[in-house]
Amino acid sequence: YYLDAERKIEQFTAAGLDKLPMCMAKTPLSLTHDPTQLGAPKGFTLPVRDMRAYTGAGWLVPLCGDIMQMPGLGKTPAAFDIDIDADGNTVGLF
């Protein structure tokens, strides 16, 4: 664990969050944090650089390697609600 991750683990444990399930944030291309190590390599160390607590969702998320987080998307894209009415006005925007 990186030092930032260690500190957050201590904070989360003190707050009683240490029993939450975990969802690893890492590359989908490998079991490791390294997208160039394809398949299921053996003998690697998985670096946890940071930890996030998503208490509303009920998850702890270790961030492994150089991973970019993105927001979750709904089932239906907002673009499906955008249209042009009979007068030529755009409707359905936020």
pLDDT attached to residue 69: 80
Please tell me the total count of domains within the chain: 1
> pTM of the entire structure?
0.67
Mean pLDDT on 76-83: 89
The domain of 11 spans 3-91
Q: What contacts 93, CB < 8 A, 6 or more positions away?
A: 82
Q: What are the tens digits of pLDDT across the range 6-60?
A: 999 999 999 999 999 999 998 888 888 888 888 788 888 889 999 999 999 999 9
Q: Looking up tokens 């239906």, which residue turns up?
A: 76
Inform me whether the pLDDT recorded for 71 exceeds 80: no
DSSP state of 86: T
CATH number of the domain bearing residue 12: 3.10.410.10
Q: Please tell me which residue, 14 or 78, carries the higher pLDDT value.
A: 14
DSSP string, 22-76: B--B--TTBSSS-TTS-B--SS----EEEEEEETTTTEEEEEESS--------SS
